[in-house]
Amino acid sequence: MIELFFQYLVAGLTYGTIYAIVGIGFNIIYNTTGIINFAQGEFVMLGGMTAVSLHAFLPLPAAIAAAVAMTMVIGGLIEIIFIRWLEKPSVLRMVIITIGISILTREAALHLWGEGVRALPYFTGNEITSLSLGGVRVSPQVLWALGISAVAVVLLNLFFKYTMLGREMRACAANRDAASLCGIPTRNMVTLSFVLSAGIGALAGCVVSPITQTQYSIGSGLAIKGFTVAILGGLGNSMAAVAAGFILGILESFSIWVMPTAYKDAIAISILLAMLFVRPSGLFGNREAFRLKEF
């Protein structure tokens, strides 16, 4: 019984990591540009699928690095082609455009890779290897996933807090016009935010691929869940997104105890709707500040 509990917990944490990363990706772009990028989930998909293809002739670490790099380039290209030249678009317009981009990306992936499910090999061992942690059996891949994601999040945090570039991006988020007047190249900051978002998404996609597997269609579901996580934690708050991601992952995982698995996806959406109706500023968000924002 306890065994089962911990298995569910671990599964919840694993999926929660991906949700958290997608949520963080949303936040990076949202913080810099105010845009809600619905194509966020596609970055995760692209990372995993590209890595699988590259792994055919590259060693695993190189394949992953290359896949992440390529996805970052794609993220930047998307921004440059579709978004850069728009004049103060409304958030709604951007949501619809990014939905369109997500559709195109998915269709391209479908034609490129087909409908099949793919997965990267386990980084260490295989699907039946497991470590014993305090009496609980855990796949090493889970540790890889949690570990690499944690490192990525910490690095991102350090980047935004302590580097010049990171602070410039935060300035952009706070007040675009003022930042521009300070000489910050805001257009490039926007592109950079897309590049970073794509990178972190792709990395997560690679790292979780052995466990959750990758398919051309996983993007939109992840986008909705990532958005849920971002809202749950409070739009723009990346640390809260991590907590929110784990909460969602665990709730989903344990829902199997009370609901048929088929309805698992509905949980995220129900949380999303509940948050939007009741507390759109998020669990950890500032209600007053949220109400003063123009939506």
Partner 1 sequence: MLSARYRHILSLVLAVAAVHAATALLGREFYLTQLTMAAYYTLVVVGLCLLMGYAGQISLGHAGFFAIGGYTSAVLTTLNLSAWKDSPFVSLLAKLSILVGRQDLYGGQVLSVHPWMAFFIAVLLTLAIAYGIGVPVLKLKGHYLAMATLGFGTIIYSVVLGTQRFGAADGIASVPAFTLLPGLDVSGGTAHRTANYYIAWGLVTIGMALLINLIGSRVGRALRAIHGSEDAASAMGVDTARYKLNTFVLSAVLASIAGVFLTHYNGGIGPSEASVMKSVRYVAIVAVGGMASLWGTLIMSTVLNFLSLRGYFGSFDDAVFGVILIIIMLFSPEGILRFDRSAVARIFRGRTQAREEN
Residues forming contacts to partner 1 in the complex (CB under 8 A) are 36, 82, 86, 90-97, 99-101, 103-104, 106-108, 110-111, 220, 224, 227, 260-263, 265-266, 269-270, 272-273, 276-277, 280, 295
Which neighbouring-strand residues pair with 118? 214
Q: Which is nearer to partner 1, 41 or 210 (CB)?
A: 41
Q: What residues contact residue 253 under an 8 Å CB cut-off, 6+ apart?
A: 8, 9, 11, 12, 15
Nearest distance in Å: CB 95, partner 1: 5
Nearest distance in Å: CB 234, partner 1: 14
Q: Which is nearer to partner 1, 171 or 271 (CB)?
A: 271
CB 246 within 8 A of CB 253: no
Q: Which is nearer to partner 1, 54 or 275 (CB)?
A: 275
Nearest distance in Å: CB 182, partner 1: 28
CB 31 within 8 A of CB 236: yes
Nearest distance in Å: CB 224, partner 1: 6
Q: Which is nearer to partner 1, 151 or 273 (CB)?
A: 273
* Cβ neighbourhood burial of 23 (10 Å; 0-12, 13-18, 19+): buried
Nearest distance in Å: CB 285, partner 1: 13
Residue written as token pair 């924002």? 293
Spell out a b/e string for 83-116, using b for 16 or more CB atoms within 10 Å of the CB, else e. Answer: beeeeeeeeeebbebbbebbeebbeebeeebeee
Nearest to 14 by CA among 277, 209, 231: 209
Q: Which is nearer to partner 1, 94 or 202 (CB)?
A: 94
